[in-house]
Amino acid sequence: MVAVDGSATPADEHKGWMDASLAAIGIGPLARLRAVLETLVDPHVLLLAVRDEQGAIVEFEYVDANSAVEKFFGTPVDQVIGTRLLERHGASASDGLFEEYVHVVDTGEDLVQDRRPYELHDGSGRVRSFDVRGRKVGDALSITWHDVTAQSDALDHFELLAENTADALIFTRHGVIQWVSPSFTEQFGWAPDEVVGRHGEMLVHPDDVDIVLRSRAGLGAGRSGRVRLRHLRKDGGVVWCESSGRPVRGDDGEVEGAVIAVRDITDQVEAEEEARRSEARYRLVAEHSSDVVYVADPDGDFAWVSPSVETVLGWRPEDLIGTPVIDLLAEEDRDVRERGRQVVFAEGRRFAPVEVRFLARTGAPLWMSLWSEPVVDAAGTVTAAVCSLRECQREVLERWAATTLSAGNAVLAEATDEATMLDEMCEAGVRNGGYRFVWYGRKVDAPGCPVEPVAMSEAERSYLDGIEVTWDDGPFGQGPAGRAIRTGRPQIVPDMRDDPDYAPWSARAAVHGFRSAMALPVRVNGRVDGAINVYASQPDAFGPRVVQLFEDLTRAMGIGMERLRDRRDLQVAFANSIDLIASVVESRDPYTAGHQARVAELAAAIGVQLGLDDRRIEGLTYAATIHDVGKVGVPIDLLSRPGALSTEELALIKRHALVGWEITNRFEWPWPVADIVHQHHERMDGSGYPQGLSGDDILLEARIVAVADVYEAVSSRRPYRAALGTDTARAMVVEGAGTLYDPDVVAAFERVLDDGFTFEDDRDRT
Say if residue 564's pLDDT is above 60.
yes
- Are 538 and 364 contacting, i.e. CB atoms less than 8 angstroms apart? yes
Name, in order, each residue with C-beta under 8 angstroms of 205's C-beta and a sequence gap of 6 or more.
229, 230, 231, 232, 238
Q: What is the pLDDT of residue 415?
A: 79
What is the rounded (10 degree) CA torsion for 757, 759, 765, 766?
0
Q: Assign residue 526 a region: left if phi > 0, alpha if psi is -120 to 50, beta otherwise? A: left
The pTM of the whole model exceeds 0.75: no
Residue 51 belongs to a domain: yes
> Residue 86: which H helix or E strand, with range?
helix 85-88
- Nearest alpha carbon to residue 513 among 540, 538, 493, 480: 538
Say if residue 460's pLDDT is above 50.
yes
666 and 703 in a single domain? The answer is yes
> How far apart are alpha carbons 31 and 22 in whole angstroms?
11
For residues 285-308, average pLDDT? 79
Residue 199 belongs to a domain: no
**Phi/psi of residue 565, nearest 5 degrees:** -80, -40
Residue 314 belongs to a domain: yes
320 and 299 in a single domain? The answer is yes
562 and 585 in a single domain? The answer is no
Instruction: Read off the pLDDT of residues 412-454 as tens digits, 9 standing for 90 and up.
Output: 877 778 888 899 989 988 888 889 999 999 999 999 999 999 9
Considering only residues 285 and 519, tell me which one the structure prediction assigns the higher pLDDT. 519
674 and 718 in a single domain? The answer is yes
> How far apart are alpha carbons 409 and 580 in whole angstroms?
10
645 and 581 in a single domain? The answer is yes
588 and 719 in a single domain? The answer is yes
For residues 335-358, average pLDDT? 87
476 and 377 in a single domain? The answer is no
Instruction: Read off the pLDDT of residues 204-252 as tens digits, 9 standing for 90 and up.
Output: 899 998 988 888 888 888 888 888 889 898 898 898 988 888 888 776 7
Last residue of a domain, one of 551, 568, 585: 568
Residue 236 belongs to a domain: no
Last residue of a domain, one of 374, 391, 408: 391
SS3 of residue 306 by DSSP: coil
598 and 718 in a single domain? The answer is yes
**Phi/psi of residue 488, nearest 5 degrees:** 75, 20
Instruction: Read off the pLDDT of residues 77-105 as tens digits, 9 standing for 90 and up.
Output: 888 889 998 887 764 445 688 888 999 99
> How far apart are alpha carbons 284 and 292 in whole angstroms?
13
Cis preceding-peptide flag for 670 (omega within 30 of 0): no
Instruction: Read off the pLDDT of residues 665-686 as tens digits, 9 standing for 90 and up.
Output: 877 778 899 999 999 999 999 9
Residue 375 belongs to a domain: yes
Residue 758 belongs to a domain: yes
374 and 401 in a single domain? The answer is no
Residue 174 belongs to a domain: no
Of 22-26, 478-482, 613-617, 642-646, where does mean pLDDT reach its minimum?
22-26
> How far apart are alpha carbons 224 and 260 in whole angstroms?
10
Instruction: Read off the pLDDT of residues 509-561 as tens digits, 9 standing for 90 and up.
Output: 999 999 999 999 999 988 999 999 999 988 988 988 889 889 988 988 888 88
Instruction: For the chain, give the longest Cα–Cα distance.
Output: 131
Q: What is the pLDDT of residue 152?
A: 35
380 and 406 in a single domain? The answer is no
Count of residues making up the chain? 766
617 and 677 in a single domain? The answer is yes
What is the pLDDT confidence band of residue 5, given thresholds at 50, 70 and 90? very low
CATH number at residue 734: 1.10.3210.10
Name, in order, each residue with C-beta under 8 angstroms of 162's C-beta and a sequence gap of 6 or more.
168, 181, 182, 183
Q: What is the pLDDT of residue 17?
A: 53
**Phi/psi of residue 81, nearest 5 degrees:** -60, 130
497 and 604 in a single domain? The answer is no
Last residue of a domain, one of 134, 165, 196: 165
Say if residue 498's pLDDT is above 90.
no
Number of helices and strands (H, E) in the chain? 31, 20
Say if residue 764's pLDDT is above 70.
no
Q: What is the pLDDT of residue 165?
A: 44
Domain that holds residue 401: 396-568
- Are 302 and 323 contacting, i.e. CB atoms less than 8 angstroms apart? yes
Residue 239 belongs to a domain: no
What's the total number of domains in the chain?
A: 4
Residue 270 CA to its chain's centroid (Å): 27
CATH number at residue 322: 3.30.450.20
> How far apart are alpha carbons 475 and 391 in whole angstroms?
37
Instruction: Read off the pLDDT of residues 577-600 as tens digits, 9 standing for 90 and up.
Output: 666 666 666 666 655 557 888 999
Q: Assign residue 470 a region: left if phi > 0, alpha if psi is -120 to 50, beta otherwise? A: beta
Q: What is the pLDDT of residue 734?
A: 96
Q: What is the pLDDT of residue 159?
A: 40
For residues 126-138, average pLDDT? 84
For residues 387-395, average pLDDT? 85
